[in-house]
Amino acid sequence: MSSIQDISITVSPGEFVVLTGPSGCGKTTICRCLNGLIPNFYSGDFIGELLVDGMNVKDHTTAELAAHVGMVFQNPENQLFSLSVERDVAFGPENLGLAREETRKRVDWALDVTGITDLKDKPPYELSGGQQQRAAIAGVLAMQPKVMILDEPTSFLDPKSALEILEVISDLNERLGITIILVEHRLDIVSKHANRVIVMDSGRIVLDGTPRDVYGEHARLIGIGLPRVTTLFNLLQRDGFEFPQTPTTVDAAADVLRKMLSR
Under the binding rule (CB under 8 A), the answer on residue 14 touching another protein is no
Omega within 30 of 0 (cis) for the link into 39: yes
- Provide the mask over 170-209, with x wherever binding to another protein is found by CB under 8 A and - wherever it is not: ---------------xx-x---------------------
Q: Segment near another protein (CB under 8 A), from 57-65, 81-89, 95-103, 228-236?
A: 228-236
**How many residues form the binding site for another protein (CB under 8 A)?**
48
User: Is residue 237 close enough to count as binding another protein by CB under 8 A?
Assistant: no
244 binds another protein (CB under 8 A): no
| Residue 241 within binding range of another protein, rule CB under 8 A | yes
Q: Which is nearer to another protein, 100 or 258 (CB)?
A: 258
Ramachandran assignment for 202, one of left (phi > 0), alpha (psi -120 to 50 degrees), beta (any other): left
CA distances from 60 to 23, 51, 126, 166, 199 (A): 29, 10, 36, 30, 28
Binding of residue 163 to another protein (CB under 8 A):
yes
Name the burial class of residue 91, with classes exposed (0-12), middle (13-18) and buried (19+) by CB atoms within 10 angstroms of its CB: middle
Position 212 contacts another protein (CB under 8 A)? no
If binding is defined by CB under 8 A, does position 9 make contact with another protein?
no
Q: Which of 7, 11, 22, 122 binds another protein (CB under 8 A)?
A: 22
Beta carbon nearer to another protein, 10 or 262: 262
Q: How far is the CB of 239 from another protein (least distance, A)?
A: 6
Q: Does 243 bind another protein (CB under 8 A)?
A: no
Residues 119-158: x/- map of binding to another protein (CB under 8 A)? ---------xxx---------------------x--xxxx
> Applying CB under 8 A, which part among 9-17, 37-45, 136-144, 222-230 lies near another protein?
222-230
Where do contacts with another protein occur on this chain (CB under 8 A)? Answer: 1-2, 21-24, 28, 74-75, 128-130, 152, 155-163, 185-186, 188, 223-229, 231-232, 235-236, 239, 241, 250-251, 253-254, 257-258, 260-263
